[in-house]
Amino acid sequence: MIVHGRGISRGRGTGELLVSPAAISFLSGVDPDTGIIVEKGHPLEGESITGKVLAFPHGKGSTVGSYVLYALKRNKKAPAGIINTRADPIIAVGAIMGKIPMVDQPEKDIMQLRNGTCITVDGDTGTIEYDQDGIS
């Protein structure tokens, strides 16, 4: 199945889907050395984002979060791709700096996708591709 959205950061990335119903702060919310979400009480606390396609509504927090996304890429701990309901400047800039493919405004609700589904994010075409059985 192909879902259309808006391409934010160029490139193509494939990985297992990791969905968060909550916004993510990359500054102090994600460890740039391990790729693990460390924000206390976050629904994905303790989960690794490394090599995953990370889907979440939007970012939150300081603009330094952009540099954390860049550091994740430099440390080989970045997600394979990012899907946002609506991109904010912090996440968009970080994805672009880190060359992490990113799409936002998907025409289907990203929260209906099942964790572990193999997803391809194409920031060049603004598309998200997955098997039909990935829908909850």
Question: Each residue of 50-76: b (16+ CB within 10 Å) or e?
Answer: bbbbbbbbebbbeeebbbbbbbbbeee
The residues near 39 (Cβ < 8 Å, ≥ 6 apart) are: 24, 25, 28, 29, 30, 45
Question: Does the annotation count 9 as an active-site position?
Answer: no
**Alpha carbon distances (Å) from 12 to 16, 40, 61, 127:** 14, 31, 26, 10
Residue 104 contacts residue 5 (beta carbons within 8 Å): yes
**CA atoms 23, 40, 37, 100: torsion sign:** positive
Tell me which of 9, 20, 62, 66 is the catalytic residue: 62
Residues designated catalytic: 62
